[in-house]
């Protein structure tokens, strides 16, 4: 394991004080004990906490005395001292000075002090004396080993595919949470089967809920809820197995992400959320506004926390809605917040380009022209798709999708061809609203709604294609210039016609 190797190297290199921020105290102590035992030479392990002190009670309720005990311990005997929750005392002026003295003392001995704490909190004056070592969540191999231990004692009905999906569902959780989740599944169903997968995802939801920067969204939308967009659907289907072990063995890298740009109400957010359903991955939502803190450095810290959580939850889909609202205007040298927004954007863009974790970013944007050029640069996203106003064929599919949800048994009674023809210029959201308005009218008259009710409702709606005609036209021309890929065959054909006839083929 990388953590054990790095810890052993730090200890052998005489790093005096190591800080391990992790909520997994028990797992961390097990790994530290393994490193101490297998080290060359092996090292004696001593553990201290505020209530009990060391094994003999020394240093109980006295952090200063605890440091004295480390200093007094024989310098020629290799030893590791694990200090639980010692971060709470580092702000104390006496403890801080004694820690700095201890750091110089330990460099000439074979002793190492390790601070175990659930959070990272190091005063600036101790930054040079303390080395931080992160303990990542359990790896797939560790989770697999834990499953083997569980499976020895309970009935199992897991196919190889289901077992791999269960391991993925456990990734990002602490080992304690994994054990509790598996125990809950066994208690509920008297065996371990694929029903444990949603239970582990529920554990992830609880973990995300305790943070402030991300939301865990239930996956309710599917690609069947999307009308049209056949090119986008095909692209997503081709990558549906891209996060499997088989894909890694084939040599495929993890997909990075997709940016969906286009007109409001055309299904960008719906498509982004449906990706998680299609790929059977947890869906996390990032609100860029939540990253912006009021204190100096708080926004950058929240950004790093967001990245850490997302990578811990991998494989997952990270949904970033309306990216343009969060970073609009930065390309024009915006410095209204002393550069905080620019630094946050820079951190996110660097991570997007360099990340190797299985975090797929599904982002949407309406006013793509306001985004800084570096966001659209190759390497940030695998693909940028433009979602245009739906064609007549796509509008028919959209009507079919929405009517099937509310009147599946009466679908044949509606004239889908007429509805699609009469709804030119409508986006998906406006089509859905027309159906809802028609239902209200019919319900008020205590009867079933008909095609005519929907046509009347549409006649009373002024679509966005008319109220924002110039902006939509500019966006269509931007997409037709070849800066992105059309999400549907009809849009691709319209774009080709526009190039041949001066954009005459573009919808107006």
Q: Which domains does the chain have, with CATH numbers?
A: 2-132 (3.40.50.300), 140-210 (no CATH), 223-387 (3.40.50.300), 392-424+428-462 (1.10.8)
Q: What is the pLDDT of residue 293?
A: 63
Rounded to an integer, what distance in angstroms lies between the CA atom of residue 330 and that of residue 344?
11
- Is the pLDDT score of 268 beyond 80? yes
Q: What is the pLDDT of residue 384?
A: 93
Taking only the tens place, the pLDDT of each residue in 446-465 is 999 999 999 999 999 999 99
Q: What is the pLDDT of residue 296?
A: 52
- Is the pLDDT score of 486 beyond 70? yes
| Distances in whole angstroms, Cα of residue 435 to Cα of each of 147, 394, 463 | 49, 16, 14
The set of residues, in sequence order, having a beta carbon less than 8 Å from that of 113 and lying 6+ positions away, is 16, 17, 18, 70, 81, 83, 102, 106
Local confidence band at 329 (pLDDT 50, 70, 90 cut-offs): low
- C-beta contacts of 494-498 below 8 A and 24+ residues apart: 494/388, 494/391
**According to the per-residue pLDDT averaged within each range, which of 219-228, 311-320, 484-493 is highest?**
311-320
- Is the pLDDT score of 223 beyond 50? yes
Task: Quote the percentage of the chain above a pLDDT of 90.
Answer: 53
Place of tokens 């906490």: 49
List the single range of 54-58, 67-71, 184-188, 204-208 with lowest mean pLDDT.
Answer: 204-208
- Is the pLDDT score of 333 beyond 70? no
Q: What is the pLDDT of residue 506?
A: 41
- Is the pLDDT score of 34 beyond 50? yes
| Distances in whole angstroms, Cα of residue 87 to Cα of each of 126, 438, 489 | 11, 63, 59
- Is the pLDDT score of 497 beyond 50? no
Edge-first strand order for the sheet with 257-262 is: 214-217, 283-286, 316-320, 359-365, 257-262, 383-387, 485-486
Q: What is the pLDDT of residue 330?
A: 58
Range 99-118 average pLDDT: 95
Higher-pLDDT residue of 121 and 49 is 49
Q: What is the pLDDT of residue 334?
A: 46
């Amino acid at each position: 394991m990388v953590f054990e190797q790095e810890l052993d190297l730090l200890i052998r290199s005489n790093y005096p004080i190591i800080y391990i921020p992790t909520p997994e105290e028990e797992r961390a102590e097990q790994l530290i004990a393994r490193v101490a035992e297998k080290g060359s030479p092996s090292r004696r392990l001593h553990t201290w906490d505020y209530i009990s002190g060391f094994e003999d009670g020394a240093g109980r309720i006295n952090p200063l005395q605890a440091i004295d005990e480390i200093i007094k311990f024989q310098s020629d005997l290799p030893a590791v001292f694990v200090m639980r929750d010692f971060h709470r005392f580092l702000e104390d002026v006496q403890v801080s000075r004694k820690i700095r003295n201890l750091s110089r003392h330990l460099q000439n001995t074979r002793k190492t002090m390790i601070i175990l704490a659930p959070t990272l909190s190091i005063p600036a004056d101790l930054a040079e004396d303390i080395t931080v070592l992160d303990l990542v969540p359990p790896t797939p191999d560790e989770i697999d080993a834990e499953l083997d231990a569980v499976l020895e004692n309970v009935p199992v009905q897991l196919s190889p595919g289901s077992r791999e999906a269960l391991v993925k569902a456990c990734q990002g959780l602490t080992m304690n949470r994994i054990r509790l989740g598996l125990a809950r599944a066994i208690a509920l169903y008297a065996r371990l089967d694929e029903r444990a997968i949603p239970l582990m995802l529920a554990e992830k939801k609880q973990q995300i809920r305790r943070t402030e920067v991300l939301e865990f969204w239930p996956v309710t939308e599917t690609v069947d809820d999307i009308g049209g967009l056949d090119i986008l659907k095909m692209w997503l289907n081709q990558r549906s197995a891209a996060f499997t072990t088989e894909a890694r063995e084939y040599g495929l890298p993890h997909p990075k992400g997709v940016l969906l740009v286009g007109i409001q109400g055309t299904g960008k957010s719906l498509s982004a959320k449906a990706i998680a359903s299609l790929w059977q991955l947890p869906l996390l939502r990032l609100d860029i506004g939540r990253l912006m803190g009021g204190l100096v450095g708080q926004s950058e810290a929240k950004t790093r926390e967001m990245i850490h959580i997302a990578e811990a939850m991998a494989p997952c889909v990270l949904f970033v809605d309306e990216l343009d609202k969060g970073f609009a205007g930065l390309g024009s040298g915006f410095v209204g917040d002393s550069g905080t927004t620019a630094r946050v954007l820079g951190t996110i863009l660097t991570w997007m380009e360099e990340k190797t974790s299985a975090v797929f970013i599904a982002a949407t944007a309406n006013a793509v022209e306001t985004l800084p050029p570096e966001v659209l640069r190759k390497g940030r996203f695998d693909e940028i798709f433009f979602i245009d106003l739906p064609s007549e064929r796509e509008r028919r599919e959209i009507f079919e999708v929405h009517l099937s949800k509310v009147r599946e048994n009466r679908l044949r009674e509606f004239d889908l061809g007429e509805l699609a023809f009469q709804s030119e210029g409508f986006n998906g959201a406006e089509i859905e609203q027309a159906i809802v308005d028609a239902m209200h009218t019919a319900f008020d008259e205590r009867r079933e709604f008909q095609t005519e009710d929907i046509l009347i409702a549409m006649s009373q709606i002024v679509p966005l294609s008319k109220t924002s005609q110039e902006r939509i036209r500019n966006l269509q021309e931007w997409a037709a210039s070849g800066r992105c890929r059309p999400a549907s065959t009809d849009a691709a054909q319209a774009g080709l016609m526009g190039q041949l006839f001066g954009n005459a083929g573009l919808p107006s």
